[in-house]
Amino acid sequence: MIKYPLSFFARASATSGIQSRWSVESQNILGQCAVPPEFEGPGGAFSPEDLFAQALTSCFVATLKVYAEKSKIYFSQLNVTTELIADLNEVKKPIMKKCVLHVSIVGCESPDRIKTLAEKAFRSGFIVNSVKTEMAMELHIA
């Protein structure tokens, strides 16, 4: 049984200037980040926007994997392509406006049950449901 509350930590170390990369670490996994070219940075490393999209995608994947295993439902492949749209809000402030998860599940003997579990994972993933960003899912089961 999972005991709440849970704590997760991250840390970053950077120098000044938008052209330089910085390091970020969480749970002992180290990565490199950079300001993306869309914001006049060099790119070539993870951006905060990349990490945000990855967090939403991974939340859905992890939640679905847990639900499927606990339900003894198996699939051969799960593919998720995420489109994250940044735009200006009504007061011209940049926000992560919308995120669409394009989900494809292949090789499941119970298509109706995996569809139900995918919809449940989308509704209940706690990171997906912790953001103000409008969330949508397009589901394809083959």
Counting as low any pLDDT under 50, the low residues of the chain are none
pTM of the shown model: 0.92
CB count in 10 Å sphere of residue 114: 23
Q: Which residues pair with 86 in a beta bridge?
A: 96
Burial of 117 (0-12, 13-18, 19+ CB in 10 A): buried
pLDDT of res. 73: 96
pLDDT at residue 34 in the model: 97
User: Going edge to edge, which strands form the sheet with 22-26?
Assistant: 10-13, 22-26, 29-33
Domain range annotation of the chain:
1-46, 48-141
Pairing of strands 29-33, 22-26: antiparallel
C-alpha–C-alpha distance, residues 62 and 2, integer Å: 15
Residue 115, amino acid: K
Q: What is the pLDDT of residue 89?
A: 95
Whether domain 48-141 has CATH 3.50.50.60: the reply is: no
Which residue do the tokens 């938008």 mark?
18
Pairing between strand 29-33 and 77-88?
Answer: unpaired
- Alpha-carbon distance values, 35 to 9, 50, 96, 124, 130 (Å): 22, 10, 16, 31, 24
pLDDT in tens, 80-121: 999 999 999 999 999 999 999 999 999 999 999 999 999 999
Tokens in use for 65? Answer: 């994997």
pLDDT at 28: 82
